[in-house]
Amino acid sequence: MIYEYANMIFFKSLSSLLDHLLLSVQLIQTSKEIPLDHQSLVLQSFFWNHRETQVFKLALIMTTDFHAFSDDKFPVLTKNHIDSCKYTNWYEKFQNKSLSKYTINSYILKNLPQSFISFLLEDGIKLKTNTENTFHDDNQDFSDWSSSESDTSSDEESIKFVDPKIEFSEVENFITSCFDKKNSKLTPRLNWSAPKDAVWILPYNNSMLTYTSEDVYLLLKSSNYIMHDLLYPYDELKDNCEKEDVNHDLILREWIENFNPSLEFRVFVMSGKIIGISQRDIRTEYIYLHDIKDEVRSTIDNFFEEIFIKNYFEESSTQEQNLVLDLYVDIKTQYLKVIDINPFARSTEPLLFTWNELLTQESANKIYEFRLGENNTKMSSRDHSENQVPLEIFDASLDPEKLRELTYEWNRLLSKQLKEDDA
């Protein structure tokens, strides 16, 4: 079990970079004349712009002890499943059914202009602003940090400056108005993802807390999760869905004061039934949770049966009722909020479970397991470790010769594995 979990963490850390490395192998096989610098550039571009796709086809190359399982064991994933997990869709469904107390108050700008999307995707851009940013924290009222206008660099001429008030005024006005609505603290996100992987870039206690439109832009633009939303929202579907079919929305949620990470739980739902619950923060063991575990389970069960399943699934068949639900549950204050709804797919992190465990349960009627962090938390990966890659791969992306050596080694291992499979 521990070995399987360790392997799972390792393979997820490789991300889609390894898929592209296989492409490099294929290129080398088909042509000896491919410029090394081209291979390096392609790999670097892929490294910075991709977040997460399936790399399990490469797993057997790395170890023969890893027991991968087929994606066929997952329920069929459709475009409708993914679209139903769009924040706007499920949030408005709750709002229309007078169930707003189960959601976090949010402001939504639908159908983001292409100019703003291009801004998020393009490198080498700085915001042109004459305003001074204000740094807030719990220890001081404010402190100053330099705006883009004050930055000086020898490469300044190559930097493209963008004025939000001109380039995407609709977005700028929306964000500004939201902060003016008695809101000094907001957190941004797009359709499916929040920029949790980019919190390091803001000086606000390692959180998604934002105070200005500049904060929002910086956080969104620095996130691989957001890039995945923009470029590859349907990458797990067997049938290709063009990105032009997606209408992207910007969501600004009110900041939850005194947010306690120990009270967030991930609920796995298949065929309309809960098949497992995991503590959301798997880095820490919260001892007190063991004393209230039964109460938390009961609260989640009641919400799911009495509120969620009756209002969210509506007319859908039981076979289609598959999703992963993130809840914030405080039994002391009877405070329950839906944080997010995710597709029931491999791209969604199973946390203290493995997908193999969730999908191969003996009986659908048995009482599901509710896992809290214990000793196994020591084996847990750090937050957003899927955005990290082995040092050797990163070094290879910067050195054409190392890239060639690495691709040839992968080719050798692949050939060896194929021979063993045929034997």
pLDDT tens, 165-208?
888 999 999 999 999 877 789 999 999 999 999 998 888 777 89
- Per the structure block, which two tokens stand in for 198? 């980019």
- What pLDDT, on the 0 to 100 scale, is given for residue 384? 52
Select from 143, 86, 97, 14 the least CA-distant residue to 341: 86
Q: Is the pLDDT of residue 35 over 90?
A: no
Residues ≥6 apart with Cβ < 8 Å to 292: 331
Distances (CA, A) of 415 to 81, 200, 412, 422: 38, 41, 5, 11
Task: Pull the structure tokens for residue 78.
Answer: 């459709």
CA distances from 7 to 18, 361, 388 (A): 15, 21, 15
Asked if the model's pLDDT at residue 17 lies above 60, the reply is no
At 352, is the pLDDT very low, low, confident or very high (cuts 50, 70, 90)?
very high
Q: State residue 216's pLDDT score.
A: 95
Res. 378 pLDDT band, cuts 50 70 90: very low
Output the average pLDDT for the chain.
75
The pLDDT of residue 395 is 61
Q: According to DSSP H, which parts of 213-362 are helical? A: 213-221, 224-231, 289-303, 309-312, 355-359
Task: Of 105-114, 163-172, 239-248, 318-327, give the range with the top mean pLDDT.
Answer: 105-114
Name the band, by pLDDT with cuts 50, 70 and 90, for residue 242: low
Q: Is 141 exposed, middle or buried (0-12, 13-18, 19+ CB in 10 A)?
A: exposed
Residue 311 pLDDT exceeds 50: yes
**Dihedral (CA of 284, 289, 290, 291) sign:** positive
Residue 120: other Cβ atoms inside 10 A: 20
Mean predicted confidence (pLDDT) in 254-282: 93
Give me the sign of the Cα torsion angle 186, 312, 277, 83: negative
Q: How confident is the model at residue 128 (pLDDT cuts 50, 70, 90)?
A: low
User: What structural domains and CATH numbers belong to the chain?
Assistant: 10-69+390-422 (no CATH), 105-254 (no CATH), 261-379 (3.30.470)
Task: Identify the DSSP state of 352.
Answer: T
Please state the rounded mean pLDDT for residues 203-228: 90
Distances (CA, A) of 17 to 39, 44, 392: 13, 9, 12
The answer for residues whose C-beta is within 8 angstroms of residue 386's C-beta and 6 or more apart is: 12, 13, 15, 51, 52
